Amino acid sequence: MKLSFTSIYTTLHAVGLVNALWPVPRNLETGTSLLKLSPSFDIQFEAGSGWSPPQDLLDAISRTKYRLWNDKLGRLVVGRGEDDREGLESASSLSLLTLTLDSYSHSKSTNDDDSVGSSTSRTILPISVEAVKDIGTRSEEYSLKVPANGGPAVIRANSSLGLLRGLTTFEQLWYWLPGDVDEGDAGGIVYAHQVPVTIEKDYPAFPYRGFMLDTARNFFPVDDIKRVLDTMSLVKMSVFHWHVVDSQSFPLTIPGFEELAKKGAYSRKEIYSSADVQGIVKYAAERGIDVLVEIDTPGHTAIIAKAYPEHIACPDAMPWSQYAHEPPAGQLRLASSATTNFTVSMLSSIAQTLPSTMFGTGGDEINENCYQKDPSTQEDLKRSGATLEKALDSFTQTTHGALRQLGKKVVVWQEMALNHRVSLANDTIIMVWKSSEHATEVAKKGFRIVHAPSDYFYLDCGGGEWFGNYPGTNSWCDPFKSWQKAYAFDPLARFSSAEASLVLGGQQLLWTEQASPENLDPIIWPRAAVSSEVFWTGPHHPSGQFRTVAEALHRLHDVRFRMVQRGVRAIPLQPQWCALRPGQCDSGGLPSTAWGFALKKLTKVIKRYKRIALSLTNNYLERIGYNEL
pLDDT score for 225: 98
User: Can you give the pLDDT at residue 375?
Assistant: 97
Q: Chain centroid to CA 39: how far?
A: 33
pLDDT value for 587: 83
Average pLDDT over all residues of the chain: 90
Contact status, residue 292 vs residue 360, Cβ threshold 8 Å: yes
Q: Between the CA of residue 431 and those of 267, 401, 549, 568, 617, what are the distances in Å?
A: 31, 19, 26, 28, 66
Query: Comparing C-alpha atoms, which of 461, 475, 567 is closest to residue 66?
Result: 567
Separation CA 172–CA 529 (nearest Å):
14
Q: Are strands 358-362 and 290-297 parallel, antiparallel or unpaired?
A: parallel
List CB contacts of 464: < 8 A, sequence separation 6 or more. 472, 473, 474, 475, 478
Q: Distance between terminal CA atoms of the chain?
A: 41
Left (φ > 0), alpha (ψ -120 to 50) or beta: where does 184 sit? Answer: left
Give me the residues of the chain with pLDDT under 70, please. Answer: 1-18, 48-50, 104-122, 181-186, 471-472, 588-629
- Give the integer Cα–Cα distance in Å for 104 and 457: 38
Rounded Cα distance between 5 and 595, Å, is 8
Please, are residues 449 and 439 in contact by the beta-carbon 8 Å criterion? yes
**pLDDT of the residue at 102:** 86
3-state helix, strand, coil in the chain (%, to 5): 40, 20, 40
| CA angle (283, 289, 291) in 5-degree steps | 80
What's the CA gap between 314 and 331, in Å, rounded? Answer: 7
For 273-301, letters b (16+ CB in 10 Å) and e give eeebbeebbebbbbbbbbbbbbbbbbbbb
Residues with Cβ < 8 Å from 368, sequence gap 6 or more?
388
* Cα angle value 569/530/412 (rounded, 5°): 105
Q: Which residues are identified as catalytic?
A: 365
d(C-alpha 585, C-alpha 456), whole Å: 24
Strands (E), 283-368: 290-297, 312-313, 331-332, 358-362
Following CA atoms 309, 313, 314, 320 in sequence, which dihedral angle do they give, to the nearest 10 degrees? -110
How high is the pLDDT of residue 608? 58
Measured distance CA(292)–CA(132) in Å, rounded: 10
What integer pLDDT is reported at residue 119 of this predicted model?
43
Strand 142-146 vs strand 189-202: parallel, antiparallel, or unpaired? antiparallel
Identify the DSSP state of 491. Answer: T
Of 12, 28, 31, 141, the C-alpha closest to 542 is: 28
Q: Please give the Cα distance from 187 to 88 (Å, whole number).
A: 13
Q: Residue 426: its pLDDT value, please?
A: 96
Other beta carbons less than 10 A from residue 34's beta carbon: 21
pLDDT computed for residue 541 by the predictor: 81
Percent of the chain's residues with pLDDT above 70: 85
Question: Would you say 245 and 251 are in contact if contact means Cβ atoms under 8 Å apart?
Answer: yes
